[in-house]
Amino acid sequence: MIKFNDFAKVIDKICTLDDTAAKLADIGIDIYNTPFYECATSLAEDFFNCHFNADGVDLIYWWLYEDVEKLIYDEHHNIVDNLTNIEDLFDYLTDPDNNYLL
Structure confidence by residue, pLDDT tens digits, 12-54: 999 999 999 999 999 999 999 999 999 999 999 999 999 999 9
**Residue 78 — very low, low, confident or very high, per pLDDT cuts 50/70/90?**
very high
The pTM (predicted TM-score) of the whole model is 0.92
The domain ranges of the chain are 4-98
The Cα–Cα gap between 86 and 75 comes to 24
**Residue 96 — very low, low, confident or very high, per pLDDT cuts 50/70/90?**
very high
What phi-psi label fits residue 28: left (phi over 0), alpha (psi between -120 and 50 degrees) or beta?
left
- Mean pLDDT score of the chain, rounded to an integer? 97
The Cα–Cα gap between 63 and 56 comes to 11
- Count how many residues are written for the chain: 102
